[in-house]
Amino acid sequence: MNTLFFLNGACGTGKTTVAKALAKLDVPNLNIHHFDSIGVPKEKEILEKYGNGENWQRLKTAEWVKKVQPELLEHNVILDIQTRPLFIEEACHNLNIKSYEIILFHCTKGTRKNRLETRQQPDLANEKMEDWSQYLKKEHESRRCIIIDNSYLSVDETTSILREIIINERKK
């Protein structure tokens, strides 16, 4: 049985970077998707169309899970995402996906700030993002999800950890 892996976490935690590094390793039987490829609308548009960011996030999470579900027949799938774990659980439940794993990427505020500055998005290194990061950590801890704190790990080290998680999941 194939597994849907969610790489979740706040901006700057390394989800996309590690997913791209993993893709270069050519791990067999693995497809990788990036939630942000749908584009994130401006806050004004989200409010006008969806009422609030939470509604947008819930809807888009469900859309992505539905989109990748057919791939699970032949491949493991990674979805690099930034959402509430509750929305992941709801989407998987509604589509009767039983084999999924939520993995939180987490790092210190300073590490995230450095990463966001390096990728020229220093405006995202703010208290709102820190609050979001801490919220996600608490939510994932309460669900006993895998948490990879890569504050002091290289991209290669984090990629190796993720690769091992995927390989070990296949052995179950």
The CATH number of residue 126's host domain is 3.40.50.300
- Copy the structure tokens of residue 9: 């976490």
100-123 pLDDT per residue, tens:
999 999 999 999 999 999 999 999
8 Å CB contact between 123 and 26: no
pTM over 0.75: yes
pLDDT of residue 137: 98
Q: What is the pLDDT of residues 46-71, one digit of tens each?
A: 899 888 889 999 999 999 999 999 99
Domain containing 153 equals 4-171
Instruction: Indicate if the alpha-carbon torsion angle 83, 21, 130, 47 is positive or negative.
Output: negative
Residue 100, strand partner residues: 4
Domain count, the chain: 1
Using CB atoms within 10 Å of the CB of residue 100, give its burial: 0 to 12 exposed, 13 to 18 middle, 19+ buried: buried
Q: Which positions ≥6 away from 106 have C-beta within 8 Å?
A: 9, 10, 13, 133, 136, 137, 147, 148, 149, 150, 151
